[in-house]
Structures are given as C-alpha cells and as structure tokens.
Amino acid sequence: MDVNASVTTTQRPTTVKPPFNVVLPAVLSLSLCACIERTLTIRTEPEGARVHLNDQDVGRSPVTVPFTWYGDYDVVIRKEGFETLRTNHRLNTPWYELPGIDLVTECLIPFTVRDHHDFPVYALTPRTLPEQDDVVLRAEEMRERALFAKD
C-alpha cells in the first residue's frame, strides 16, 4: 500500500443556518419588551354604588379596572335609594401613546409604564318620592282622560 496515496473526500452541501448572533438577541429583546399598564378608577359619594362602564358591570365603587383603549366611556352608576347617574367621560391619549412614539414606550423601554386615570368623584343624589297629593291628582287626571277620550 502506498503511503503517499491521495484520499479524496466529498464535501457535503452546506445548509444556510440563521445567524444566531442576530436571531437570538431579537427573540430575547421581544420577550423582554416593556408594556403599558392602563387602569382607571371610579369613585362615588356615597361609596358602594354599582358601576357600569360601556354597558359592562365592573363592580362597586370605588373600583379600579384595566382598560385597553382611549376615547369615550359611558358610565352608569346605580345605588338603592339614589337616582341613577348616566354620564360620559373621555380619556385622552397621552403623548407617549401617539403613533410612532408608542413603539418606543411599548417595546423598547425595559420597564412597565403605568398609565392611571382617576375619573371625577360622582356625587349621587338621593331619590325623592313625589308627594301623595301630586300622585293622586295625576291619577285622577289620567282617569278623566281615559273615560272621556274621543275615539
């Protein structure tokens, strides 16, 4: 056997592997993204009123709930012995949530941004019952209209 004989080897085709020095940091940075924690608080006077936000029961006041969107919120507050309060409150978008800037605040800052809004304190009005004489007078007027109505 010849010691100087040449040995031929075949090369395997190389496969394209993703550059881990780019992919791995990108995946890690996305997994470590910051977020924005948005909450709003609704208080009433007196406390303990049932609060509905955009037709959803969110609990009894004072109540703090998370929210996703800025804009108009319909607020309905009910408590036994008090008039039902229906109102609207607008949450304006803060500057750091404007398009473009929000990419930085939601993805690139390495901590959680807390965005908390306090709605005004809603004062409930006690329900007043009409005087008995007024109720009787209205009932008599209604009876008269029903009896002598022209067909």
**Structural domain contains residue 15:** no
Q: Which amino acid is at 14?
A: T
Q: What does the pLDDT read at residue 106? A: 75
Within-domain flag for 4: no
Q: How many CB atoms lie within 10 A of CB 1?
A: 3
How far apart are the C-alpha atoms of 120 and 138, rounded to whole Å?
38
Domain-embedded: residue 7: no
In a domain, 9, yes or no: no
**Does the residue 60 lie in any domain?**
yes
Domain that holds residue 90: 24-147
Residues β-bridged to residue 53: 56, 75
Domain tally for the chain?
1
| pLDDT in 10s for each residue of the chain, 151 residues | 555 666 666 666 565 566 666 666 665 665 565 688 899 999 999 999 999 999 999 999 999 999 988 999 999 999 999 999 999 999 998 888 888 887 777 777 777 888 899 999 999 999 887 788 888 889 889 988 888 877 5
Is 64 a member of any domain? Answer: yes
Q: What is the pLDDT at residue 7?
A: 60
Residue 3 lies in a domain: no
Strands (E), 5-132: 36-42, 44-45, 50-53, 56-60, 63-66, 71-78, 85-91, 113-118, 122-123
pTM, to two decimals: 0.63
**Is residue 34 a part of any domain in this protein?**
yes
